[in-house]
Amino acid sequence: MDERLERLRSDGDGISALRRLFLPAFAQADRGSIPDTGLRATLDLTGAGMGNVQLLDEAAGGLTIAAQHGFDRSFPDFFAVVGDDGTACGRVMRTRAPVLVHDVERDRFLARTPATRVLLEAGVRAVCSLPLLDGDGDGDGAALGVLSVHYRAARELTDAKYRLPEPLSHRLGRSLRDRAPEVR
Protein backbone atom coordinates (compact mmCIF):
# COMPACT_ATOMS: atom_id res chain seq x y z
CA MET A 1 0.00 0.00 0.00
CA ASP A 2 2.84 2.47 0.77
CA GLU A 3 4.17 2.26 -2.79
CA ARG A 4 0.70 2.94 -4.22
CA LEU A 5 0.24 5.88 -1.86
CA GLU A 6 3.56 7.34 -2.94
CA ARG A 7 2.51 7.13 -6.59
CA LEU A 8 -0.80 8.85 -5.75
CA ARG A 9 0.96 11.61 -3.83
CA SER A 10 3.28 12.31 -6.75
CA ASP A 11 0.66 11.93 -9.49
CA GLY A 12 -1.93 14.70 -9.58
CA ASP A 13 -3.99 12.55 -11.99
CA GLY A 14 -4.26 9.60 -9.62
CA ILE A 15 -7.89 10.36 -8.78
CA SER A 16 -9.32 7.10 -10.19
CA ALA A 17 -6.75 5.10 -8.21
CA LEU A 18 -7.59 7.18 -5.16
CA ARG A 19 -11.24 6.25 -5.47
CA ARG A 20 -10.41 2.55 -5.73
CA LEU A 21 -8.14 2.65 -2.67
CA PHE A 22 -10.05 4.81 -0.20
CA LEU A 23 -13.65 5.46 -1.10
CA PRO A 24 -14.89 1.90 -0.35
CA ALA A 25 -14.08 2.53 3.32
CA PHE A 26 -16.95 5.01 3.43
CA ALA A 27 -19.46 2.35 2.33
CA GLN A 28 -19.04 0.41 5.59
CA ALA A 29 -18.87 3.43 7.90
CA ASP A 30 -21.81 4.53 10.03
CA ARG A 31 -22.39 8.24 10.66
CA GLY A 32 -20.48 8.17 13.94
CA SER A 33 -17.34 6.71 12.36
CA ILE A 34 -17.39 8.68 9.08
CA PRO A 35 -15.27 11.61 10.36
CA ASP A 36 -12.54 9.28 11.64
CA THR A 37 -12.67 7.13 8.48
CA GLY A 38 -12.27 10.21 6.28
CA LEU A 39 -9.51 11.68 8.41
CA ARG A 40 -7.45 8.47 8.49
CA ALA A 41 -7.76 8.06 4.71
CA THR A 42 -6.70 11.67 4.18
CA LEU A 43 -3.71 11.37 6.50
CA ASP A 44 -2.64 8.16 4.74
CA LEU A 45 -2.97 9.86 1.38
CA THR A 46 -1.19 13.11 2.23
CA GLY A 47 1.46 11.75 4.58
CA ALA A 48 0.54 14.47 7.08
CA GLY A 49 1.03 13.42 10.67
CA MET A 50 -1.82 15.44 12.12
CA GLY A 51 -5.35 16.35 11.19
CA ASN A 52 -8.89 16.87 12.31
CA VAL A 53 -12.49 16.89 11.15
CA GLN A 54 -14.78 19.55 12.56
CA LEU A 55 -18.54 19.53 12.08
CA LEU A 56 -20.90 22.46 12.30
CA ASP A 57 -22.81 22.36 15.57
CA GLU A 58 -25.29 25.21 15.56
CA ALA A 59 -26.25 24.57 19.19
CA ALA A 60 -22.61 24.97 20.24
CA GLY A 61 -22.19 28.04 18.06
CA GLY A 62 -19.59 26.83 15.58
CA LEU A 63 -17.37 23.97 14.50
CA THR A 64 -16.70 21.16 16.96
CA ILE A 65 -14.06 18.43 16.65
CA ALA A 66 -15.54 15.12 15.50
CA ALA A 67 -12.21 13.35 14.86
CA GLN A 68 -8.56 14.24 15.40
CA HIS A 69 -5.21 12.54 15.17
CA GLY A 70 -1.69 13.47 16.24
CA PHE A 71 -2.42 16.24 18.75
CA ASP A 72 -1.99 16.53 22.49
CA ARG A 73 -4.81 17.73 24.74
CA SER A 74 -4.21 21.49 24.31
CA PHE A 75 -5.13 21.42 20.62
CA PRO A 76 -8.64 19.94 20.95
CA ASP A 77 -9.23 22.04 24.07
CA PHE A 78 -8.44 25.30 22.26
CA PHE A 79 -10.36 24.34 19.11
CA ALA A 80 -13.31 22.77 20.97
CA VAL A 81 -15.72 25.29 19.40
CA VAL A 82 -14.52 27.48 16.52
CA GLY A 83 -16.35 30.49 15.10
CA ASP A 84 -15.45 32.10 11.80
CA ASP A 85 -12.54 34.34 12.77
CA GLY A 86 -8.82 33.84 13.39
CA THR A 87 -8.50 30.25 12.16
CA ALA A 88 -8.11 28.48 8.82
CA CYS A 89 -11.15 26.31 9.52
CA GLY A 90 -13.24 29.38 10.35
CA ARG A 91 -12.24 30.93 7.02
CA VAL A 92 -13.23 27.74 5.21
CA MET A 93 -16.70 27.85 6.76
CA ARG A 94 -17.10 31.51 5.89
CA THR A 95 -15.90 31.18 2.27
CA ARG A 96 -16.79 27.51 1.56
CA ALA A 97 -13.44 27.27 -0.23
CA PRO A 98 -10.14 25.54 0.59
CA VAL A 99 -7.66 27.47 2.73
CA LEU A 100 -3.94 26.81 2.38
CA VAL A 101 -1.62 28.14 5.06
CA HIS A 102 1.97 27.70 3.93
CA ASP A 103 3.45 28.96 7.21
CA VAL A 104 1.30 29.69 10.27
CA GLU A 105 3.80 32.30 11.48
CA ARG A 106 3.69 34.26 8.22
CA ASP A 107 0.09 33.85 7.05
CA ARG A 108 -1.54 37.27 6.79
CA PHE A 109 -4.81 36.09 8.38
CA LEU A 110 -3.47 33.65 10.95
CA ALA A 111 -0.15 35.08 12.16
CA ARG A 112 -0.21 36.68 15.60
CA THR A 113 -3.60 35.22 16.53
CA PRO A 114 -4.19 33.08 19.62
CA ALA A 115 -4.56 30.08 17.29
CA THR A 116 -0.98 30.53 16.05
CA ARG A 117 0.45 29.91 19.52
CA VAL A 118 -1.56 26.69 19.92
CA LEU A 119 -0.63 25.49 16.43
CA LEU A 120 3.08 26.13 17.00
CA GLU A 121 2.98 24.40 20.39
CA ALA A 122 1.38 21.39 18.66
CA GLY A 123 4.21 21.36 16.11
CA VAL A 124 2.08 22.66 13.21
CA ARG A 125 3.69 24.91 10.59
CA ALA A 126 1.39 24.44 7.56
CA VAL A 127 -2.32 23.71 7.20
CA CYS A 128 -4.60 22.60 4.37
CA SER A 129 -8.30 22.94 5.26
CA LEU A 130 -11.10 21.82 2.94
CA PRO A 131 -14.86 22.35 3.22
CA LEU A 132 -17.20 19.42 3.77
CA LEU A 133 -20.21 20.19 1.58
CA ASP A 134 -23.39 18.16 1.28
CA GLY A 135 -23.79 18.70 -2.48
CA ASP A 136 -23.11 16.31 -5.32
CA GLY A 137 -20.92 18.62 -7.38
CA ASP A 138 -17.84 20.71 -6.97
CA GLY A 139 -18.53 23.51 -4.52
CA ASP A 140 -22.27 23.08 -4.19
CA GLY A 141 -24.36 22.31 -1.14
CA ALA A 142 -24.44 23.47 2.44
CA ALA A 143 -21.28 23.53 4.54
CA LEU A 144 -21.30 20.70 7.08
CA GLY A 145 -17.80 21.14 8.43
CA VAL A 146 -14.08 21.18 7.65
CA LEU A 147 -11.38 18.58 7.00
CA SER A 148 -7.88 19.83 7.92
CA VAL A 149 -4.44 18.30 7.58
CA HIS A 150 -1.51 19.79 9.48
CA TYR A 151 2.16 19.55 8.58
CA ARG A 152 5.19 19.89 10.88
CA ALA A 153 7.19 21.95 8.38
CA ALA A 154 6.30 25.11 6.50
CA ARG A 155 5.73 24.18 2.88
CA GLU A 156 4.43 25.36 -0.42
CA LEU A 157 0.97 23.83 -0.70
CA THR A 158 0.33 23.86 -4.43
CA ASP A 159 -3.01 23.29 -6.14
CA ALA A 160 -1.94 19.75 -7.03
CA LYS A 161 -1.11 18.92 -3.42
CA TYR A 162 -4.37 20.19 -1.97
CA ARG A 163 -6.42 18.76 -4.83
CA LEU A 164 -5.30 15.23 -3.97
CA PRO A 165 -7.42 15.03 -0.78
CA GLU A 166 -10.32 16.98 -2.34
CA PRO A 167 -12.22 13.86 -3.52
CA LEU A 168 -12.06 12.57 0.05
CA SER A 169 -13.48 15.82 1.42
CA HIS A 170 -16.29 15.68 -1.17
CA ARG A 171 -17.04 12.06 -0.30
CA LEU A 172 -16.88 12.77 3.40
CA GLY A 173 -19.47 15.54 3.02
CA ARG A 174 -21.79 13.35 0.96
CA SER A 175 -21.39 10.43 3.38
CA LEU A 176 -22.36 12.67 6.28
CA ARG A 177 -25.35 13.95 4.32
CA ASP A 178 -26.48 10.47 3.27
CA ARG A 179 -26.33 9.11 6.81
CA ALA A 180 -27.88 12.13 8.51
CA PRO A 181 -30.63 11.29 10.99
CA GLU A 182 -34.06 11.79 9.52
CA VAL A 183 -35.98 14.76 10.85
CA ARG A 184 -39.63 14.00 11.54
Give residue-wise pLDDT tens across range 36-72: 988 988 888 888 889 999 999 999 999 999 999 999 8
Burial 104-132 (b: 16+ CB within 10 A, else e): beebeebeeeebbebbeebbbbbbbbbbb
Cα–Cα–Cα angle for 161, 40, 65, rounded to 5 degrees: 100
pLDDT value at residue 169: 85
* Contact between 81 and 175 (Cβ < 8 Å): no
Which architecture characterizes domain 2-178 according to CATH?
2-Layer Sandwich (3.30)
pLDDT of residue 137: 62
**CA dist., res. 119 & res. 147, Å (int):** 16
Domain-wise residue ranges, the chain: 2-178
| Predicted pLDDT of residue 144 | 94
Low-confidence ranges of the chain (pLDDT < 50): 1-2, 4-5, 13, 182-184
Q: What is the pLDDT of residue 53?
A: 97
